[in-house]
Amino acid sequence: MHSAAARRLNEFLAQVRAKFIVCPAWLQQLDFASTLDLSRLRNDFIAQHDRNASQLTLWNFPIAIPAWKIAPALAFGNCVVFKPADLVPGSAWALAEIISRAGFPPGAFNLVMGRGSVVGQTFIDHVGVDAISFTGSADTGSRVIAAAAPRRAKLQLEMGGKNPLVVLDDADLAVAADCALQGSFHSTGQRCTASSRLIVHKRILAAFVDALRERMESLVVPFGGRKASSYGPREQGRHAAEFFTTVKTAYTAP
């Protein structure tokens, strides 16, 4: 499973456990009010049948994102065509094999591998695909919109972000430093919800930097498959190059 090597083993196992413990209970009864604690949240659910749904997912959450897209689509009676990122064929195949044991009719769930620019584009353009769920970069998402909107296909897009973590001067420094560390380094920072910027009130900046530095020095960086690891490798060489460029820019900034 290619992407498992690009994240810590503990993260990957937790992702799998969460989806395969929660999803079956959720699918067995679509009574959301009794299966979810709604005391602090407002949840509105509309059961709607779209016939054929295409699920285009990325590599950094190779089990979680496909699972939370595929499960509700199948539960509400749609046929699903799952096209994973071409970097994670092993994870996608394992998930498809598990789904195949559920006894769905032939054609209800389908797995198609290939480059997004070829296979993914075919799904976006095909008139037989009624709904498209895409997770990936903002640039690719914009192309999905441009291609699917003229034929009125239903779209659900989850695209990249540039997320600031704001720390005010009344914050608990220990909690703030822990959040910054997790937000920046969890999953090696390779997720759209990563804390890419820290905005800290000047009154507590020095103390916050000291607290964060202390935590960063405790990070363990061996092979990501070891349970003791707190930081895995970058997924691709070009991602590593971008990372070092960013670090160099920050280091040389006045």
Cα separation, 211 vs 169, whole angstroms: 14
DSSP letter, residue 180: H
Catalytic residue among 11, 23, 158, 179: 158
CB-count burial class (<10 Å; 0-12, 13-18, 19+) for 88: buried
Burial 45-55 (b: 16+ CB within 10 A, else e): eeeeebebbbb
Look at residues 48, 57, 97, 55 and name the one whose alpha carbon lies nearest to residue 77.
Answer: 48
Judge whether 192 counts as a catalytic residue. Answer: yes
Residue 36 near residue 115, CB atoms below 8 Å = no
Q: Active site includes 79?
A: no
φ, ψ dihedrals at 58, nearest 5°: -105, -175
Q: Are 194 and 226 in contact (CB under 8 A)?
A: no
Point out the catalytic residue in the list 192, 217, 235, 242: 192
Which residues are catalytically annotated? 158, 192
